[in-house]
């Protein structure tokens, strides 16, 4: 993606897939990539990302903290909770510590199904499919708002009679209240065997006065609007599940490794990991 596009869209081909990429409007995966310091973003993404950053000091560090939480949660699930099946929805553009890399480092037989609805992630699917020899990975071009279709597709790779970890990191804020985010999570968790897990991180509405303006600026520019949520609102996603210690916390404070970044003000996304009884 080195060249600046001159038209409003690109056609990208990878691994036999063709994806239409609209470069004229900022997209969540590419804005997030920019905040993380990645290269898979275009002028519209960078402009939107900078406008939001200006209203929300510490955002870059909070995004890095989210990504670090993803790695620690996946490592906990594979190394400590005995999970070897993962359903990662809202995968994002590959970055450091993709779920299958972390999981297969701890449990080589891990099977990982990635799901995203952005064509730019589809174009990168080959990097996500580079599984270790004992495990397996699958990429599904799918939408969280159609959980039944995701479950049908994922059954190619996952054994739903055995526990699965559902990973929903940095995606539920892209689902509006009117789209039924709590019902979607419940439908997915209902399909999973007892002993399954939910790992969830959600950007916060209640960590500072800049958040409302940051959300307004994001929604002014980015193709999918965001709905930041408070800790109480995020807690509702875990209804009926048993949160593992330390519970629902700022993600940078969830079982941190020495040297992990603490964002300014000591706040980040709300997140946690919970077990289905």
Ligand X SMILES: C[S@@+](CC[C@H](N)C(=O)[O-])C[C@H]1O[C@@H](n2cnc3c(N)ncnc32)[C@H](O)[C@@H]1O
Q: Which of 19, 70, 188, 267 binds ligand X (CB under 6 A)?
A: 70
Count of residues interacting with ligand X (CB under 6 A): 23
- How far, in Å, CA of 256 to CA of 72, rounded? 8
User: What's the closest the beta carbon of residue 157 comes to ligand X, in angstroms?
Assistant: 17
Residue 194: burial class (beta carbons within 10 Å; 0-12, 13-18, 19+): exposed
Smaller CB separation from ligand X, 32 or 84:
32
CB-nearer residue toward ligand X: 145 or 195: 145
Among 158, 169, 207, 248, binds ligand X (CB under 6 A): 169
Q: Which of 141, 206 has the CB closer to ligand X?
A: 141
For residue 2, the tally of other CB atoms under 10 A from its CB is 4
Structure tokens belonging to residue 146: 């159609």
**Smallest distance, ligand X to C-beta of residue 35, A:** 9
Q: Which of residues 204-223 bind ligand X (CB under 6 A)?
A: none
Secondary element (H or E) of residue 233: helix 231-235
Per-residue contact string for residues 103-142; x = within reach of ligand X by CB under 6 A: ------------xxxx--x---------------------
For ligand X, which residue of 144, 184, 185, 198 counts as binding (CB under 6 A)?
144
- Between the alpha carbon of residue 169 and those of residues 9, 14, 70, 99, 110, the distances in Å are 28, 25, 7, 11, 19
Site string for ligand X, 29-48 (x = CB under 6 A): x--x----------------
CA–centroid distance for 124 within its chain = 15
Q: Check binding of 22 to ligand X (CB under 6 A).
A: no
Task: Write down the residue that tokens 């599940």 correspond to.
Answer: 241
Q: Tell me if 263 contacts ligand X by CB under 6 A.
A: no
User: Distance between CA atoms of 99 and 228, rounded to whole angstroms?
Assistant: 24
Among 49, 174, 188, 274, binds ligand X (CB under 6 A): 174
Is the CB of residue 29 less than 8 Å from the CB of residue 125?
A: no
Q: How far is the CB of 70 from ligand X (least distance, A)?
A: 5
Pick the binder of ligand X from 21, 34, 64, 92 (CB under 6 A): 92
Give the separation between CA 188 and CA 42, rounded to whole angstroms.
Answer: 33
Q: Which of 1, 21, 26, 28 binds ligand X (CB under 6 A)?
A: 28
- CA distances 251 to 15, 71, 184, 271, Å, are 35, 11, 22, 5
246 prior amide bond cis, ω within 30 = yes
Binding site for ligand X (CB under 6 A): 28-29, 32, 66-67, 70, 89-92, 115-118, 121, 143-145, 169-171, 174, 224
């Amino acid at each position: 993606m080195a060249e600046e596009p001159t038209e409003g869209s690109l056609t990208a081909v990878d691994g036999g897939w063709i994806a239409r990429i609209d470069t004229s409007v900022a997209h969540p995966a590419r804005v997030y990539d920019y905040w993380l310091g990645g290269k898979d973003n275009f002028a519209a993404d960078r402009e939107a990302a900078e406008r939001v950053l200006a209203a929300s000091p510490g955002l870059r560090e909070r995004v890095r903290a989210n990504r670090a939480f993803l790695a620690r949660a996946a490592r906990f699930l594979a190394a400590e909770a005995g999970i070897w099946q993962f359903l990662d929805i809202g995968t994002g553009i590959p970055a450091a510590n993709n779920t299958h890399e972390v999981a297969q480092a701890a449990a080589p037989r891990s099977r990982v199904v990635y799901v995203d609805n952005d064509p730019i992630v589809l174009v990168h699917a080959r990097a996500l499919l580079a599984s270790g020899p004992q495990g397996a990975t699958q990429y599904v071009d799918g939408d969280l708002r159609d959980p039944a279709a995701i479950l049908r597709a994922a059954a190619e790779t996952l054994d739903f009679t055995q526990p699965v970890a559902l990973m929903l990191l940095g995606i539920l804020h892209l689902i509006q209240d009117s789209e039924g985010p709590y019902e979607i999570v419940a439908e997915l968790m209902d399909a999973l065997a007892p002993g399954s897990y939910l790992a969830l991180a959600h950007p916060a509405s209640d960590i500072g006065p800049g958040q409302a303006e940051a959300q307004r600026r994001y929604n002014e520019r980015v193709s999918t609007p965001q709905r930041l949520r408070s800790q109480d609102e995020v807690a509702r996603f875990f209804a009926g599940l048993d949160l593992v210690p330390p519970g629902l916390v700022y993600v940078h404070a969830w079982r941190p490794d020495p040297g992990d970044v603490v964002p300014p003000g000591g706040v980040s996304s709300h997140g946690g990991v919970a077990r289905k009884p």
